[in-house]
């Protein structure tokens, strides 16, 4: 029977679980934290004032694309789309999947731009106006304005794909952050600024807290280590960390979130136990194979030594071959 590791007692949620990530960044109550993280990631490139969470499921007319679910999918107040995906463990073809996510978000903008513009603006409006007729009329007018020119449907809003990875991806350079753009291969000039991907490989972030001088570094350090803390370090006194302390404390979770979080942690523990079991099985098989290979090699070496001794005594090749089982060619080489 497989032994399951004992579930650790945590003060803060593990942000690399789906539910932990959602608690910290994926709800209206924590939207300010998500905006702060995104602005630090995009510092000097783009500044987000506000954003709206969108339906994470792709409801494409293409049945093969339906059911694609992002961890977070949102639209900024200035029209950019942002996909945030958290991946705790390695999956095959992960980079291809992230490419598909961003391309799919771009292509969705051209399928029915009127409906998309109307639905997204209406969703944002209804958050504050509870289905008022004014909000609907404004959304329809916005959609008509967006589709005035035929060519506008091929001018997409920028899509950012931001991927937090708690593993090392062999398809990327061995470093913490990788930024990708569509650029001229020869001179590096950006050809199309509407396609952006940012990969964060957390195992490569090795800074200690004392080395983290920027808010960006402190946020990354906190996300990587907070699951092991009993309290927020004294060095993290900024308001954003006080907010994180409040939201991410396991003791502050609602009953539903606590149940979902416990299930997520149990699933991780079972996965770890399964991986360890497979690793031990692989080690045992490797040891057994190594022993067998060693025995086999030892027998060959013994035959070769016996053949050499017989040759020195002047015994004929045919007799040596019969005695040792080696071929005449093998004996000649000794």
Angle at 30 between CA 25 and CA 31, to 5 degrees: 80
Q: How far apart are CA 311 and CA 289, in angstroms?
A: 33
pLDDT of residue 32: 92
Q: How far apart are CA 178 and CA 92, in angstroms?
A: 19
Three-state DSSP state, 179: strand
Each residue's pLDDT expressed in tens, for the chain with a length of 334 residues: 444 444 455 688 888 888 888 888 988 888 999 999 999 999 999 999 999 998 755 555 444 444 445 689 999 999 999 999 998 888 889 999 999 999 999 888 876 555 555 565 556 555 555 555 555 566 666 555 555 566 666 778 899 999 999 999 999 999 999 999 999 999 999 999 999 999 999 999 999 999 999 999 999 999 999 988 988 998 998 889 988 888 888 877 777 776 777 676 666 555 555 655 666 666 666 666 666 666 677 677 777 777 777 676 666 777 777 777 778 787 777 7
Q: Which of 74, 85, 83 is nearest to 51 (CA)?
A: 74
User: How many residues in the chain?
Assistant: 334
pLDDT of residue 1: 44
pLDDT of residue 316: 74
Q: Order of strands across the sheet with 72-76?
A: 51-53, 72-76, 81-87, 159-165, 190-201, 177-183
pLDDT of residue 114: 53
Q: How far apart are CA 160 and CA 181, in angstroms?
A: 10
pLDDT of residue 168: 94
């Amino acid at each position: 029977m497989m032994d399951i590791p004992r579930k650790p007692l945590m003060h803060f949620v593990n942000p690399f679980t789906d539910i932990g990530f959602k608690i910290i960044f994926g709800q209206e109550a924590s939207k300010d934290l998500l905006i702060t993280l995104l602005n630090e990631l995009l510092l000097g490139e783009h500044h987000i004032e506000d954003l709206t969470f969108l339906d994470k499921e792709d409801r494409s007319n293409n049945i093969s694309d339906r059911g694609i679910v992002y961890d977070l999918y949102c639209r900024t107040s200035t029209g950019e789309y942002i996909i945030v995906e958290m991946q705790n463990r390695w999956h095959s073809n992960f980079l291809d999947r992230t490419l598909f996510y961003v391309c799919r978000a771009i292509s969705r903008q051209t399928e029915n731009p009127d409906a998309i513009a109307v639905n997204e603006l209406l969703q944002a409006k209804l958050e504050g106006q509870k289905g008022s007729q004014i909000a609907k009329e404004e959304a329809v007018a916005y959609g008509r304005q967006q589709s005035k020119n035929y060519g506008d449907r091929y001018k997409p809003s920028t899509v950012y794909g931001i991927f937090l990875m708690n593993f090392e991806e062999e398809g990327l350079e061995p470093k913490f952050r990788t930024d990708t753009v569509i650029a001229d291969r020869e001179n590096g000039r950006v050809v199309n600024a509407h396609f952006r991907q940012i990969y964060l490989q957390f195992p490569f972030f090795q800074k200690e807290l004392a080395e983290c001088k920027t808010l960006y570094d402190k946020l990354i350090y906190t996300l990587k280590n907070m699951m092991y803390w009993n309290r927020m370090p004294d060095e993290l006194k900024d308001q954003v960390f006080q907010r994180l302390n409040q939201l991410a404390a396991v003791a502050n979770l609602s009953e539903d979130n606590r149940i979902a979080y416990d299930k997520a942690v149990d699933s991780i523990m079972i996965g770890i136990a399964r991986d360890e079991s497979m690793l031990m099985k692989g080690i045992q098989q490797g040891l057994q194979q190594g022993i067998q290979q060693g025995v086999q090699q030892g027998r060959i070496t013994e035959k070769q030594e016996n053949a050499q001794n017989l040759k020195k005594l002047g015994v004929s090749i045919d007799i040596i071959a019969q005695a040792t089982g080696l071929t005449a060619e093998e004996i000649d080489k000794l």
